[in-house]
A and B are shown apart, each in its own frame.
Chain A
């Protein structure tokens, strides 16, 4: 327990330091790399919390794919930031107020890991106790995502699908094959 507490404190401190470093970084390239590190530390925290499936996704998407996409974008737009604007007192007060409200609201939340918390009393007991009988797979995360919550997952895949359609419509398919040939064929991207 104390080891886990120590790990949690160290991880959260590293997370905080990375966030501050991202804000203070002038170079977008290093900000993107720090963003990858941030995701990776988050994935490690999810690991400690035994949320292996979430950690897996965070490491693959947050630290992997989105870092690569950010780097691709930087290679198109350059990695220089605009001149930093001076501190705006109004914005500072607004942010401070919001943070205070959010921290005040946590007083009403159930204690961390409390088994009597409302979220653990609704459908979770049924998933934990009956999923082996009703669905089968030993990993009940899969049972919940694929079977109990099949509609949700269908909608999520629909969201991912529409993301791709949007990107293709806006940026084209990115086909570079045959582009090096001298024939100027500009309408390659409109083949969709």
Chain B
């Protein structure tokens, strides 16, 4: 895949279409992330779509520019950070007097509490999933050039 990249970058159709698509893909990922409680989607789908945007960029422009954008050495912090955000939301609910992951305790109005809790854990899911997908892609694609 990596040795095909130089020719893929020189292909004007692929390059232009990719340039056109990457921004909408990333914005759509954010839309799916924050709109999950009103429409289909949520953190998992948003994370996968975001990772797909990065992977398309890496396929056309090469692994190195993509890794300048999202350094592989930093990805592990996102992988762990998203999950910790999820856990932290659960423990925060406990510290407010509710059960673990009972978001109603996060706010005086249980509905607001549920809303904040769901937004927080979906963000955690999104961060972890996006980072995991990009990490796995890096691990596979990066072996070629060794």
Contact = CB atoms under 8 A, between A and B. Distances in A.
Interface in B1-56: 1-2, 4, 32, 36-42, 44-45, 48-49, 51-52, 55
Interface in B48-97: 48-49, 51-52, 55, 59, 63-64, 67-68, 71-73, 75-76, 79-80, 82-83, 86-87, 90
A139 interface: yes
A68 interface: yes
A139 B142 contact: no
Most A CB contacts (10 A, CB to CB) among B37, B71, B139 go to B139
A65 B83 contact: no
Given A60-B45, A139-B39, A160 B132 contact: yes
B111 A145 contact: no
Contacts, number: 176
Contact of A157 (B37, B38, B40, B128): B128
Interface stretch (A82-90, A92-100, A122-130, A161-169): A161-169
- Range for the number of chain A residues in contact with chain B: 35 or more
Nearest to A164: B132
Contacts of A146: 37, 42, 117-118, 121-122
Interface string A128-156: 00000011111101110111001101100
Most B CB contacts (10 A, CB to CB) among A52, A57, A175 go to A175
A60 B135 contact: no
Most A CB contacts (10 A, CB to CB) among B2, B118, B136 go to B136
Interface string B108-146: 000100110110011011001101110111111111111
B87 A154 contact: yes
A147 B137 contact: no
Contacts of B39: 139
A174 B138 contact: yes
A139 to B, nearest CB: 6
B103 A147 contact: yes
B63 A176 contact: yes
A179 B79 contact: no
Interface stretch (A20-28, A34-42, A70-78, A110-118): A70-78
Most B CB contacts (10 A, CB to CB) among A136, A176, A177, A192 go to A176
A191 interface: yes
Interface of B: 1-2, 4, 32, 36-42, 44-45, 48-49, 51-52, 55, 59, 63-64, 67-68, 71-73, 75-76, 79-80, 82-83, 86-87, 90, 101, 103, 111, 114-115, 117-118, 121-122, 124-125, 128-129, 131-133, 135-146
28 contacts: A53-B40, A53-B42, A56-B32, A57-B44, A64-B52, A65-B51, A72-B1, A75-B144, A136-B37, A136-B111, A141-B40, A142-B42, A153-B86, A153-B125, A154-B90, A157-B124, A157-B128, A161-B128, A161-B132, A170-B139, A171-B140, A173-B75, A173-B76, A173-B135, A177-B64, A177-B71, A180-B64, A192-B76
Given A165-B79, A176-B63, 11 more contacts: A75-B4, A143-B118, A147-B101, A154-B87, A163-B136, A164-B132, A171-B140, A173-B139, A174-B138, A175-B142, A192-B76
